[in-house]
Amino acid sequence: MRLFPACATIASLVVSSHSLAAVAFDGLGYTQNFDSMGTGTAAPTGWKHFTTSFGTNNTWSTSVLASGATGISAMSVGTVGTTLVAATTPSGTQNFGFNAGVGGSTTDRALATSPTTVAGAIIQLDLENTSGSSIAAGVGFSVSFDTIRYTAVSSANQLPGYWLFYSLDNGSTWTNAGPNPTIADVPNTVGVTSSSISFNLASDWQVGATMYFRWVDDNAQQTSPDQIIGLDNVNIVPAPGALALVGLAGFVGFRRRR
């Protein structure tokens, strides 16, 4: 059985009974640069921003928890997203999610977070397996993205950057894709950090099922407002070894049809 189809289009939009907000994963890859937001107040299809409904600015002082009453699993995957604030350069607090410019641009956009009073903010992607085949546990994936560092603060006391998690069981269990960023990776300065994280699926990704990704930004323990960061240029692809299997499976299927 093939893991993926031999031919497919990249990340076409899809509406299904599994997730009305999900976007399609065809087995080859998915990309998002957020530029389609323009200067509007809505995230792209399949994406949303929300803040946690529990905790304070020191709840995640040493790590972002995956489970428990103050873990990200306590927030349903169906949590309603916030209305974004369109800004060339984001600023301020009040748990805003921003449709923010990159480098002052009005066309190059990013989805930015600025949590306050709560444990942190979450950017969620709903990605549905429309490849036509289940993708087996152990298959490797690579997730690359840019972290836009909009502001610096006098005391860098938050967990820097975004911690990446994924779930294959509708949000009951979240796996930290790690490694998580350090202050050396995402420094307390204005600029851009490019990251690439590789992981193997913890369980099968069934046909028609949705894999949920969460980029989590914790709130600073003391400094208010804390450093404001944004997410941009997301790229999700199977690991190179898995792509080789795609090509082999497609070739074998073609020969059999011949």
What is the residue extent of each domain of the chain? 23-257
pLDDT in tens, 191-224: 999 999 999 999 999 999 999 999 999 986 666 5
Residue 105 to residue 154: CA distance in whole angstroms: 26
Distance in Å from the first CA to the final CA of the chain = 18
Q: What is the per-residue pLDDT for 4?
A: 37
The fold adopted by the segment(s) 23-257 is Jelly Rolls (2.60.120)
Q: What is the identity of the amino acid at 161?
A: G
Structural contact between residues 103 and 199, judged by C-beta atoms closer than 8 angstroms: no
Give all strands (DSSP E) within the chain, no chain letters: 23-25, 30-32, 47-51, 85-87, 96-101, 109-114, 120-129, 140-149, 163-167, 175-176, 191-200, 210-218, 229-238
What does the pLDDT profile of the chain (258 residues) look like in tens digits?
334 333 333 333 333 333 358 999 999 999 999 999 999 999 999 999 999 999 988 899 889 999 999 999 999 999 999 999 999 999 876 788 999 999 989 999 999 999 988 999 999 999 999 999 999 999 999 999 999 999 888 776 678 999 999 999 999 999 999 899 998 999 999 999 999 999 999 999 999 999 999 999 998 666 656 789 999 999 999 987 664 444 444 433 434 444
Structural contact between residues 19 and 123, judged by C-beta atoms closer than 8 angstroms: no
Report the predicted TM-score, pTM, of the whole model to 2 decimal places: 0.86
Q: What is the per-residue pLDDT for 159?
A: 86
Q: What is the per-residue pLDDT for 157?
A: 67
Q: For 83, what's the count of Cα atoms within 13 Å in the CB-facing half-sphere?
A: 2
The Cβ of residue 111 has, within 10 Å, a number of other Cβ atoms equal to 24
Q: What is the per-residue pLDDT for 21?
A: 80
Q: What is the dihedral of CA 193, 194, 199, 202, to 10 degrees?
A: 60
